[in-house]
Chains A and B, each alone.
Chain A
Amino acid sequence: MGRVSMRKQKILVVDDSDMNRLMLEEMLGDEYDIIEAEDGVQAISVLQRQGDEIAVVLLDIVMPRMDGFGVLKVMNQNNWIETIPVIMVSAESGTTQVEKAYEMGVVDFIMRPFDMLIVRRRVVNTILLYAKQKRLIDMVEDQIYEKEKRSSLMIDILSHIVEFRNGESGLHILNVRTLTNFLLWQLVQMSDEYNLSKEEISIISTASALHDIGKIAISSKILNKPGRLTDEEFAIMKGHALAGARMLESLQFYQDDPLVKYAYEICRWHHERYDGRGYPDGLVGDAIPISAQAVALADVYDALTSERVYKKAIPPETAVQMILNGECGAFSPLLLKCLSDNAEKIRKEVQEKAILQENTREPHSLGGQGFSLERVGMSERTRRLLDYERTKYEFFVSTTEEIQFEVTASPPMVILSKWGAGKLGLDETTTDPANDEKINEVFGEGTWARMAKSLHNTTPESPEIVFECKLHYLGEDHWYRIFARAIWSSDDPPQYEGALGKAVDIHETRMRLEELERKASRDSLTGLLNHASAREWIRERLDKKVDGNFALAIFDLDWFKSANDNYGHSFGDSVLKHVAEILKHSTRGADIPSRIGGDEFLLFLDCTVDPERIIDRIFNTLNCEFENYTISISMGVAKTSDVGRDYEALFRAADQALYSVKRAGRGRYAFYSDSMKDIFIAASELGDRMES
């Protein structure tokens, strides 16, 4: 082989013993790429990411975290076991273990001690067997696809002949099929009453194309009569239901074929009404097969919303309303709910499918025959593209310093980028993260569960969520912004499969913002609130607690100017800081102390008890010695019970009380009373006169 050798096939070796993995690698490494996993959880993580590349899994039984049987269980749940062969590696020869393993889909056993020849031979045989099987499945799938495409084509041509005679466009059949499919999907989501599988819904939808074949037996004169039908003509027209059913019944073969069975139900009963007033048999309620019920509703909806020779198209919203009002027949309440709950989706669905002209219809899968084809059929080219994308992704992940993660819905699991896992001190792979202790410790209790729920609640049209939260690691909280995008399957309706996401560190920005906010609201010398923010806080408090009693005190330091002059400004600053400290210590959490300027302070008190005692205590604490300097203060106080709850009024009243204290000789406190109002007015007049 030249240097550009063929791509080696990959073997996943799952064993908790380094030694055992090393031995297997030595025996197989020349021919295959070996991917190692130390326990079951790591194995699942590898299978989740690159299961379609793994040619065979060598699986130990006894392992920590998740053992070999745990891995088999998950492989069964996800149907991986159908396409990825597993060879069990074991020294256990107990028959129950072996039996259990075979039952869970294991292909073969390699017993310890390892024999090189046997190990190699078993691996080669298994890979060859599965490769052959896969080729066969591909061939069968291609054939089925061809066959189904052809039979679908036949059905379409046949139905189109009927429509052509009927003067309708081929779109009606297509729309009825789309609608029937959609309604039945909604129905099985909403209720367990109708036990319809994916395959059955698909067959019913195909069969729906045949609903009007009986019209071939109706004379084209009646069929295409432009005006209203006479009673007699209408009776003949009604005969198309039974005529279609008879045609199918008289088929010599295929009576047991589900397609024929459903087509019969649909032809015969698609004009029955849920209230029993339909034709030809007058069946009531769920005596009408659900296939015919769904087609009937689809037929009516499309007839209303399409243009016909005798009528114009009705807008979808009006059509839904008319159907719900019972103007166009009687239907099961459950089906009506499917229609009304999804009116907008149905409108889009019909439009899109009509445009696509259904070139993309999927063949039925070979359900129940042991393999699900959707998973298997992947061409070599697709695989190579996938490889390329994966390499690209892994490269970018490895070079970026970002916390990235992948979430899978079933089994519930999160895979963190290597760098991210290291940063947060978490494992790269965690199963059941919502209930994982370590995850909850880092993300905060319940955060993960809430995120999983929000992701699940997104829609394929808008699958993204963003939120901010604190992540706890290295003993500290860090602010992060989490971006995540849910992954929805392309099924109809789409299924939630998991999500991709990343966590971006916004700690510094957030802290800076908080710091700025803090700084802006506080006095830089004492750390107390400044006047503007104190005012805001007080107003908020007054508004919030309408029946509370409050007091507002304003005080300043007597002869403070002389302290500055005699001892210098830095000493003056120390005095102010000291006063602020006393204030902080002698007030409670609900109180609001503030420095409102120079040597002026404000104190807002929540007075559940008599404020006079509190004021007296605080006043006495404030009058003290500081480094041989005697602090003396004058204080004025106003109570909401006297002045009312307006901030400006409270402030003015406290100011007046303070003024009266100063006039009386400082070093005291006084509560505002109405008599001060006059004193204040008189004093200010005096002041005016003195200034002039």
Chain B
Amino acid sequence: MTLKECYTAIGGDYEGVLSRLRSERLIQKFVLKFLDDDSYNQLCRTMEAKDYAEAFRAAHTLKGVCQNLGFTELGESSSDVTEALRAENGAEAERLIGKVHEDYKKTSETIRDFKAQAG
């Protein structure tokens, strides 16, 4: 799997990110680093504890990271949760978080596969 194929599989915008960061090496480095990023786990923890103020920060961070990496799908679903939490609408956020879980699972699994291949 090439990096571009990896992006296609996770619903990302490879052309966009390449035009912004201008280096495949750099993009690959950031994509692999995404697996270590803690903001998704933090979002899960805080949502579970119904600590919506902290959850807002975590969702906001996750959204920002996705935007930077051009992970369009996960970026959009986490952005939806961010906006719900910004409006202090916990129920709405609970409803929307499922999509984030789904997108994150797909994204992280695909990157892991890519990493295994890239060695």
Contacts and interface: CB of A to CB of B under 8 A. Distances in A.
Contact of B33 (A19, A63, A117): A19
Nearest to B38: A18
Given A22-B30, A62-B60, A17 B37 contact: yes
Nearest to A114: B68
Interface string A110-149: 0011111100000000000000000000000000000000
Interface residues of A, number: 18
Contacts of B54: 64
Interface string A14-27: 00111110110010
Contacts of A63: 57
Contact of A91 (B17, B57, B63, B69): B63
B67 A112 contact: yes
Interface in A50-73: 62-64
A531 B33 CA distance: 75
B22 A117 contact: yes
B20 interface: yes
B111 to A, nearest CB: 13
B67 A17 contact: no
B34 interface: yes
Interface string B60-78: 1101110111100000000
Contact of A17 (B16, B19, B21, B65): B65
B65 A20 contact: yes
B26 interface: yes
B13 to A, nearest CB: 9
Interface residues of B, number: 27
Nearest to B39: A17
A551 B21 CA distance: 92
A116 B22 CA distance: 8
A116 B30 CA distance: 13
B20 A115 contact: yes
Contacts of A91: 63-64, 67
A19 B57 contact: no
A104 to B, nearest CB: 20
Contact of A113 (B34, B38, B60, B68): B68
A115 B34 CA distance: 18
B34 to A, nearest CB: 7
A113 B29 contact: no
A22 B35 CA distance: 14
B20 A19 contact: no
B57 A64 contact: yes
Contacts of A16: 57, 61
- Give the 9 A-B CB pairs with smallest separation, nearest first: A115-B20, A113-B67, A17-B61, A19-B65, A112-B67, A19-B37, A113-B68, A62-B60, A114-B68
Interface of B: 16-17, 19-22, 26, 29-30, 33-34, 36-39, 54, 56-57, 60-61, 63-65, 67-70
9 contacts: A26-B29, A63-B57, A91-B64, A91-B67, A112-B67, A113-B20, A114-B20, A116-B22, A117-B22
Interface of A: 16-20, 22-23, 26, 62-64, 91, 112-117
Given A112-B64, A117-B22, 18 more contacts: A16-B57, A16-B61, A17-B37, A19-B30, A19-B34, A19-B65, A19-B68, A20-B65, A20-B68, A26-B26, A26-B30, A62-B61, A64-B54, A91-B64, A112-B68, A113-B17, A114-B20, A115-B20
